[in-house]
Structure 1
């Protein structure tokens, strides 16, 4: 099956739209096929501001309306607890809210941007999507991340080379309760590092310290700017460490 066939049988659907590479291409492809695909962005404390800005920019360029759905994810105790099944509980809460809004707006199907490169085994979040009957056209049609980047580049989409970005909750160790303050500190620290020229990075927290994960080519720059980085992040963390295992 290809996307054209999928949308031939499912011409009207709601899309959980993150503004990332995968859901952006899916939205673009649906428009090219003249489908009624409505984009919904769930705005929670786990999503940084730039993701919403990218989602708004992309949908404006396509001329497609974007529905922003606020969700206070920290009101869910099993999410805040941050146990091994946090992602399951989070996805269940977010996609239940999405389903409710989609059905209210008259959409009989809910889609997400999972692709054929994404592992689906032993992933609690994927189990939640399966239980809620969320469809993943990119995965079902065998489109890998490399395929989607290539197709996006051909289409001239600004998202084609956008780095993958996991939610802010992944920066906090499993078993450590999640607070709004921790999430704000992580987001602000990653914004600061981006402004210093770093990219595709993570700031992970543990015991009051920030551990930076950077691609290997950026290690030298981190050492050169170590004092500036320490000073900039000092309002949020007692220590700033560099993980010597580079990000792939």
Structure 2
């Protein structure tokens, strides 16, 4: 059992015990695991309670930034749990590549199409995901696809919010407890703009360069071939330092963008969902 390293409130301790009880009651589970803080908590407690009867599975495609896949691998190894990767083919599905507002539905449908046979082979394992209580009030078409596939969401079912997920992860000593939210690369394109492997790779490379410059929270929005860079408001001045600004423009143009701008509002998750 993971030892509690930091103090939790009585309510938070109760939440953690209920999550443990939920997972201990299962015989075999497969966790749809992205390496984000939510699915990592579910995977960690599943491993704690079930040992090798818990399997973390990561869907791999061009929409997953390479550094996030690396982090998912590293975190699973840190936890000591079984981890499997499966290639998904959403880029072959027009209901995904045409980038409609319910694009995430097509993505999750494809993911769970691959997870279902793996779970069946794992003694009929129950598939779990990391959807939390807050996600239920957000624009998340993928939740419907997961429900149709029979996936359970223990965090949401137990009323566990993102803030509580971070508190529990912090108390248990998970180094990624404050990891920023990292939506898939497809979220960088306005609805209706086609998504391709080439476009995803261009955005991924641009963000990787910025991460290497010590901007750990970043979005490169792609409007056609125009790049709009978002970093937290308190880091905008750093990005606009003359030498770094010149390197930013040079790098993004070399990747195939035709213009580069910096969003002076700063990074706002879900900005493209605005009406």
Please, what TM-score do these two structures have when normalized by structure 2?
0.86
1:6 aligns with 2:22: yes
**1:30 is the counterpart of 2:51:** no
Which structure 2 segments of 5+ residues have no match? 1-14, 269-275
| Whole-Å separation in 1 of the counterparts to 2:29 and 2:122 | 10
SS in 1 for 2:250: helix
Q: 2:252 aligns with which of 233, 237, 241?
A: 233
Q: In 1, Cα distance between the equivalents of 2:190 and 2:171?
A: 39
**Match in the other structure for 1:101:** 118
Report Cα offsets for 1:83-103 as digits up to 9, x if no partner.
Answer: 122111111111111112211
Quote how far apart the aligned CAs of 1:41 are. Answer: 0.8
The corresponding residue for 1:216 is 233
Structure 1 unaligned residues grouped into runs of 5+: none
Q: What is the match of residue 8 of structure 2? A: none
Aligned 8 A contact 2:193 2:224 in 1: no
> 8 Å contact 1:14–1:107 — kept in the other structure?
no
**Deviation larger for 180-189 or 199-208:** 199-208
Shift of 1:172: 1.2
Q: 1:43 aligns with which of 60, 63, 66?
A: 60
Number of matched pairs: 248
Is the 8 Å Cα contact of residues 24 and 46 (structure 2) preserved in structure 1?
A: no
Please list the CA deviations of residues 127-146 of structure 1 after superposition, one character each: whole Å capped at 9, or x if unmatched: 11121121010111121111
How far residue 122 of structure 1 moved from its aligned partner, in angstroms, is 5.0
CA distance in 2, matches of 1:159, 1:107: 30
SS in 1 for 2:159: coil
Q: Residue 63 in 1 paired to residue 80 in 2?
A: yes
Structure 1 pair 142–46 and aligned structure 2 pair: CA distance change class (3 A): same
Comparing 180-189 with 32-41, greater Cα deviation is found at: 32-41
- Indicate the SS of the match to 1:244: coil
Q: CA deviation at 1:121?
A: 5.9
Q: Is the 8 A contact 1:16 1:111 kept in 2?
A: yes
